[in-house]
Amino acid sequence: MTHLTGAAVRAMVPNHRGAIINVASLLAFSESAVLSRFNRATYAGCKAFIVTFTQLVAQEVHDHGIRVQVCCPGAVETEFHDVAGVPNPPAAMSPEAVVTASLRALDAGEVVCVPGLEDPSVIDRYHQAQREMLRQGNRPELAERYRVAAG
C-alpha cells in the first residue's frame, strides 16, 4: 500500500489529476475498545498506519489536484472472515454499499470515509482531540504527575 501509493502519486503529480482510495478499517480506531471477537493488535495497528499515512499523503498532494481517501468500513459481507479464520460478524454491510459510500465521499472531498457513520462530526471531534493532545503534550516541561516518583 505504501509503495503503491507512492508510485501512484509520482505518476499523477505531472498530470495534476488522479484519485487514490486506500482501504483501512473501522478497527483502525479500535485501540481503546474492548472487543473480544478476535485478537487484532497487528491488523488494527496496520490499519491505523493506513489511516495516518493516507491522511498525510492527502495533505501533501492537496495542491496537485489529486484526491486521496482512506475508506474505513465496519464489517463487510465478504470472504474476509472465513479466509482469516475469525468468526463471521452478526451483521455486515454489502461491498456494493461500501463502494457507493467511498465514491460519493470522494466526490464530496471527504478524506476519511466511514460508510456506516451517520454523524460525520464524530470524525471532526476525533481530529480535534488529536490536535489538543499534540498541543498540550508537546512542552519542554515534565507533566506535574511525573515530577515525583510514584510510591
Ligand X SMILES: NC(=O)c1ccc[n+]([C@@H]2O[C@H](COP(=O)([O-])OP(=O)(O)OC[C@H]3O[C@@H](n4cnc5c(N)ncnc54)[C@H](OP(=O)(O)O)[C@@H]3O)[C@@H](O)[C@H]2O)c1
By CB under 6 A, name the binding residues for ligand X: 23, 25, 73, 75-76, 78-80, 83, 92
Supply the minimum distance, in Å, between the C-beta of residue 74 and ligand X.
6
Supply the minimum distance, in Å, between the C-beta of residue 41 and ligand X.
15
For ligand X, give the closer residue by CB, 92 or 97: 92
Please give the angle made by the CA atoms of 66, 71 and 72, to the nearest 5 degrees: 155
CA distance 124 to 79: 32
For ligand X, give the closer residue by CB, 66 or 70: 70
Helix-helix angle 2-12:41-61, to 10 degrees: 10
C-alpha 144: how far from chain center: 33
For ligand X, give the closer residue by CB, 95 or 120: 95
Supply the minimum distance, in Å, between the C-beta of residue 36 and ligand X.
17
For ligand X, give the closer residue by CB, 9 or 80: 80
